[in-house]
Amino acid sequence: MPNLFKKRNYFVFFFFLMMAFFVSLTKTNALIGTINGDSVNFRSGAGVNYSSIGKLNRGTSVTVKNAYAVNGSGCNSGWININYNNKDGYVCRSYIDIQGMESYGRPWTSPKKAIFGGAEFVASKYIAAGQYTSYLKKFNVNPKSNYEVFENQYMANLAAPMNEAKTTYNSYKQNGLLSLPLEFSIPIFENMPAYTTHPVTGKEVGGTSIVTDQEFEKRLDQEGFDETYKIWLRELHNTYPNWIFKSLKTGLDFNYAVEREKWVSSINGAGCPKCIDPANIITEGNWYIANDETTAYFLDPRNGLMVDSILMFENLAFSENYKEHVVQSVLNGSFMKDKDSVDNLSYANIFFEAGKTFHVNPIYLAALSRQEVGVNGSISTSGERVEYKGNIYQGFYNFFNIGANSNEQSPVRAGIVYASAGASKNSQGVFVGNISSNNEGNQNNNDNNAPVKPDVTPLNTHLANMKLNQKGNFVTNISIGTTVGTLKKKTNGTELVFRNANGGMLGDSEKISTGSKITFPTGETLTVVLYGDLTGDGNINSADLLKMRQLLLGQIKLDGAFLEAARLVNTSGNINSADLLRLRQYLLGQKNISQI
């Protein structure tokens, strides 16, 4: 089922903006770009092996000759052909904003580009904006979201969060992840009925009223869960005592929320004829506006408080617990079980790296894509030739159906148009992405690009040049207070991508901290560890001392780079009082903390 990319009040504006964008491409083939980094190299060709014409400062306006990002060494997101001061050249796509389009790495001309771009879109538009669970992406009822409630909801399918959760659950179960201390954010509405029922399956039967853990009961009371929630949460707690349940108080009247959600949601009529509203309003194909009973059932959080659906309330941020082989288990049985034919990379690796890069659970990303495009894929995953509204598109991919609005003539084709943003027409008038031998034609809109010389420099050489150390997936030996700009000066011209722990781009003046990500020209991403910086603010101060105390007392848990940052004395051993003492001594000016 395609998603619903919209703030409803802005859909018309977005539609005409995109039409104007494509018209401008066909008329002038030129756009305006703004440099978003400091001292960005303006090169004679698409790659760091080409000479630098000069440096462009943040805020510099340039003419974009072709918004199609071409491959080249030293920039994972591709290179953009620009003109500045009557000189033609290239800049790394990560360091330019193109007027009239939010890029997310578009055009998506390979599965990898589509999955990375889609992950960035989901991370920035939803997760970082307060819609940080699968449930909240469908039902935006978080009063602290960046958007108004009921706005910017990702998908139209009412049952999607539950279906995604079941796919993720099977993967977690298969790989032994259910014993982890998972945290769930569960909404509570005002004036909720005693229960809600599915038109076909009826009322869910289960749960327990038997209290076995008084401390757990106190925590439930503190969170504001009533007995209708408790009967399910007790049963989950008895099986998985490490799980943490938090409440999200929406302040919304449940019946009002049902009414609002009903008109922006759909249900598969072929799969559930009894779920359809009596007015039989078709949204697309076999999808219909749902009746009140069905909407209430899927909106009611209590119906998701079972072991195979509870993951719709899990925080979707990345964790070091999520490994590539777990992602693989989600993709088995689908067309994504092996390598893709364009990048020649395993889909599991692509999803995993996309999750790491943009700080999103890669298992969720894989489950979301499987939900959106199906186990056999679709025209949005094949790159095949597609015609829509008088234009032809070829070689574009959209693994999350972003932009596939339900009120389009063909939502999936609209998603392909979204994926093609920034591409130009070839001599035959076709918007062209990557053309394989299996597709019609052999035209390519990059015939005049400078030859690409692949970067074969291994990661350890890049690290040695910058005097950095690698420890597994971590990178160390960065001094406290180091800015992105300072570290760039050690790169010998290598184009790196710097992001914060949440996946956002870091500017040259921003400090590198524990949890920051550095993507190297090889495509590999390492996470920064600053020993002593347990809070991830790039400093070592009393806040880090408090974190260390809480960690040793068992009051908090740290993982990944933040746990590694606490190993101050024996970087391969257990964290203990010696590490706490070293942190105290550092703050008193008595001893240094080694960053090696």
Task: Measure the CA–CA gap between 86 and 89, rounded to whole angstroms.
Answer: 10
Q: What band does 525 get if pLDDT is binned at 50, 70 and 90?
A: confident
Extract the tokens encoding 244: 């943490």
Domain 456-596: give its CATH code. Answer: 1.10.1330.10
Domains 8-106 and 456-596 share a fold: no
Q: Is there a contact between 422 and 68 (Cβ–Cβ < 8 Å)?
A: yes
For residues 132, 351, 115, 59, the Cα torsion angle rounded to the nearest 10 degrees is: 70
**Neighbour tally for 244: CB within 10 Å:** 11
Task: Measure the CA–CA gap between 26 and 191, rounded to whole angstroms.
Answer: 54
Q: For position 26, what pLDDT does the model report? A: 37
Q: For position 100, what pLDDT does the model report? A: 53
Q: What band does 75 get if pLDDT is binned at 50, 70 and 90?
A: low
Tell me the mean pLDDT in the region 367-384. Answer: 91
- Look at the chain and count its residues: 596
Task: Measure the CA–CA gap between 552 and 330, rounded to whole angstroms.
Answer: 36
Supply the pTM of this predicted model: 0.55
Half-sphere exposure of 96 (CA within 13 A, CB side): 35
The CATH architecture of the domain made up of 8-106 is: Roll (2.30)
pLDDT at 404 over 60: yes
Q: Is there a contact between 198 and 272 (Cβ–Cβ < 8 Å)?
A: no
Mean pLDDT across the chain, nearest whole number?
84
DSSP string, 249-305: EEEEEHHHHHHHHHTT-BEETTT-GGGB-TT--EEETTEEPBPHHHHHHHH-GGGG-
pLDDT at 235 over 60: yes
Label residues 521-538 b or e (16+ Cβ within 10 Å = b).
bbeebbbbbbbbbbbbeb
Query: Of the candidates 134, 148, 142, which has an alpha carbon nearest to the alpha carbon of residue 6?
Result: 148
- Residue ranges of domains in the chain: 8-106, 324-373, 456-596
Q: For position 5, what pLDDT does the model report? A: 40
Q: What percent of the chain has pLDDT over 90?
A: 47
Q: What band does 522 get if pLDDT is binned at 50, 70 and 90?
A: low
Task: Measure the CA–CA gap between 158 and 525, rounded to whole angstroms.
Answer: 36
For residues 311, 315, 321, 323, the Cα torsion angle rounded to the nearest 10 degrees is: 70
Query: Residue 168 carries which side chain, given as an amino acid letter?
Result: T
Task: Measure the CA–CA gap between 125 and 102, rounded to whole angstroms.
Answer: 11
Task: Measure the CA–CA gap between 378 and 72, rounded to whole angstroms.
Answer: 29
